[in-house]
Chain A
Amino acid sequence: AQSVTQLDSQVPVFEEAPVELRCNYSSSVSVYLFWYVQYPNQGLQLLLKYLSGSTLVKGINGFEAEFNKSQTSFHLRKPSVHISDTAEYFCAVSDQGTYKYIFGTGTRLKVLA
């Protein structure tokens, strides 16, 4: 079984500052890793995913994440945030066989002017 832990439920940050949203996972099998963003009253939008290969993954809207197998982490980063980045961010894992997603509890990023 897999699990995902997002340690921070809320992260306030000033506009143009860098941000890191933390995600740790546990799994006994190889997994795929994802970050999704959910804007208020909307569905999920894929930011980026790690399937294999390079551990540094670049996504949309200037976000990137680094897969660290030894630390079982997949932290999301952005060097300079905008007001429009205010949203809920979900980390998710999927084992490579079932395509079922296990989501973390989410981190609410609030960008302050």
Chain B
Amino acid sequence: GAVVSQHPSRVICKSGTSVKIECRSLDFQATTMFWYRQFPKQSLMLMATSNEGSKATYEQGVEKDKFLINHASLTLSTLTVTSAHPEDSSFYICSARGGAGNTIYFGEGSWLTVV
């Protein structure tokens, strides 16, 4: 079946640095990908919608200059957390729309810890 892969699954970075998380659709083309974040013991909140070849659409309250999203190909979207701070520590998960019936598939998620 369709698979969405995220890399890295876990990353620790120093405060002030930037970190990139990749979301790949492995066996289908995804025209749209979505990025969510989940704080500990909370629900998942949509951050942005990533469309291949165009600018991402950010949800209200999400800083687009801090969370850079690039959807350069039909199988890859990247989320870059710039100038990371400890409060950015979270679980980031992507989903991709595609395949038969335009199904949504979720990645395994990426744990970001900023120290």
Interface residues of A (CB under 8 A from B): 36, 41-44, 46, 90, 94, 98-106
**Residue contact B93 to A101, C-beta cutoff 8 Å:** no
**Residue contact A42 to B108, C-beta cutoff 8 Å:** yes
Best-buried of A41, A99, A106 by chain B (most CB within 10 Å): A99
Interface residues of B (CB under 8 A from A): 6, 32, 34, 36, 42-46, 49, 93, 95, 97, 102, 104, 106-109, 111
**Residue contact B95 to A101, C-beta cutoff 8 Å:** yes
Complex interface: chain A residues within 8 A of B97 (CB):
99
Give, as a whole number of angstroms, the nearest-CB distance from A111 to chain B: 19
Complex interface: chain A residues within 8 A of B111 (CB):
41
**Residue contact B43 to A43, C-beta cutoff 8 Å:** no
**Residue contact A90 to B109, C-beta cutoff 8 Å:** no
Given contacts A99-B32, A99-B34, A99-B97, contact A104 B43 (CB under 8 A): yes
Give, as a whole number of angstroms, the nearest-CB distance from A70 to chain B: 26
Give, as a whole number of angstroms, the nearest-CB distance from B27 to chain A: 17
Complex interface: chain A residues within 8 A of B104 (CB):
94, 99, 101
